[in-house]
Structure 1
Amino acid sequence: MAGGPRGRGTRRIRPQRQLAKRILVVTEGTETEPQYVERLGGFLRSKGATAIVKKVGVGTDPLKVVRKCVEIRDRAQGDAAFDICVCLVDVDQHATLPAACKLAKQESILLLISNLKFEVWLRWHAEDKRSALTTTQLDHRVEQLNLASGKTLLPRFPIDRVYAACDTARKADPGMAACRMGPGPSSAMPLLVDLLKPS
């Protein structure tokens, strides 16, 4: 009979299953940003990374957001531990932003800043325009473009245009980096997209 007994001495080695990276995303905003990150994760559907979004009710203070992120990270144990921690904050007129950047660097947290605010990033899903707008003008433009109503993303938000938004953001801020405030307008959100997209 050709060949030896089946399975003897020829044990197949199964490839080790890579566990998905757990990415903690702590947001300053309690509505728009969490909605966006959840949709982004659903659109990208990466098997290599999972975003766990935490809304923190600490007001619009970047330093408090980073501190809360440290607290959540340090409480997570075992399989619930996080591989990467990210905070999403706006510039607005935050006096604590430099201190937030300093703490984030000390704690190895990626602090991603949108200047003037997160709606800049939303706008770039619909148009490649980098004109500086006031906060009120920006809110109005986001509504005009049918991206959001108030703080709620609309059902037809063009999440599939995320890579176009990344291109615009990188043109607006070629030196994009975590823990750094870019020019107005700018957003470091492409760094989160890079973490979540399938490899």
Structure 2
Amino acid sequence: MARDNSPKVRNKRQLERKRATRASYDRILIVSEGSKTEPNYFKEIRSAYRLQTANIEVRSSELGTAPIQVVQYAHSLFENGDPHKRLQKRAFEYVYAVFDRDAHDSYNQALSLANALNGKLKNDNNQLITFTAIPSIPCFELWLLLHYQEIKSPLHRKDVILRLKKYLPTYEKGTSSAFANTKQNLELAISRAQMLASKFTAYSYPEPFTDIHVLVQQLMTLGK
């Protein structure tokens, strides 16, 4: 009997192969505001710790870069999947929405929506998932700067970039080697981010803050 090679059957086989390559640890969906810098950073971590791509999905928001759009896209992607890229619906235990404070009007709204979704959605195993906002004030580059400096007072995005370039002269938005160039100071950055979190919160604008370390530490743990 001839083998059925229709698109529907091929997609089914591809999904089955992807399921077979999944590791036993939790499945994580990361959706970022940035289209290159943040996705590249988390993909670097995924590669460095040899995490399965079937378990760790990294996407940029396709609805827009406003914080509320990042959260909404993460929610939609979790609920509906992406059949064009063989992403199953509700196939995660954790969903993270990564975005900057900057001057976004919808920042607080995005935090509230992420909090409202946390523990309310069920995955394909009928388990309640963790849905978490990962904000940075003023921007993602604060996390990179913490690898080199202890920051205690508010900084504008431009100032963050200027300071960062003192240590990474070739740094540009969209870089593909941010993790590789900073990982030697990763534990120091985590400690400094934790110190900021002990003083400020995601709502403490304009005080410096980032939760990137929370996501990074979870990925590191999976890789052990």
Q: Same fold (TM over 0.5)?
A: yes
> Aligned equivalents of 1:78 and 1:135: distance in 2?
36
**How big is each residue's C-alpha offset from its partner over 1:78-100, in whole Å with a ceiling of 9 and x where there is no partner?**
69711100011111112111211
Name the SS of the counterpart of 2:92 in structure 1: coil
Indicate the residue corresponding to 2:194 in structure 1: 170
Name the SS of the counterpart of 1:160 in structure 2: helix
Alignment counterpart, residue 96 of structure 1, candidates 100, 106, 111: 106
What residue ranges of structure 2 are gaps of 5+ in the alignment? 1-21, 82-86, 119-130
Percent of aligned pairs with the same amino acid: 24
Name the SS of the counterpart of 2:181 in structure 1: coil
Name the SS of the counterpart of 1:157 in structure 2: helix
Kept in 1: contact 2:32–2:70 (CA 8 A)? yes
CA shift at 1:174, angstroms?
1.0
Report the count of equivalent residues.
Answer: 180
In terms of Rg, which structure is larger?
A: 1
TM-score, length-normalised on structure 1?
Answer: 0.78
Whichever structure has more helix as a proportion of its residues is: 2
Name the SS of the counterpart of 2:31 in structure 1: strand
1 or 2 for the larger relative contact order (CA 8 Å, sep ≥6)? Answer: 1
The residue type paired with residue 186 of structure 1 is F
Kept in 2: contact 1:27–1:88 (CA 8 A)? yes
Whichever structure has more strand as a proportion of its residues is: 1
CA shift at 1:50, angstroms?
3.8
The residue type paired with residue 185 of structure 2 is R
> Aligned equivalents of 2:208 and 2:218: distance in 1?
22
What residue ranges of structure 1 are gaps of 5+ in the alignment? 1-16
Kindly report which structure 2 residues correspond to 1:130-149, keeping only aligned pairs within 5 A, or say none.
130-146=152-168, 149=171
Kindly report which structure 2 residues correspond to 1:13-162, keeping only aligned pairs within 5 A, or say none.
19-45=24-50, 50-76=55-81, 81-108=91-118, 109-146=131-168, 149-153=171-175, 155=177, 156-162=180-186
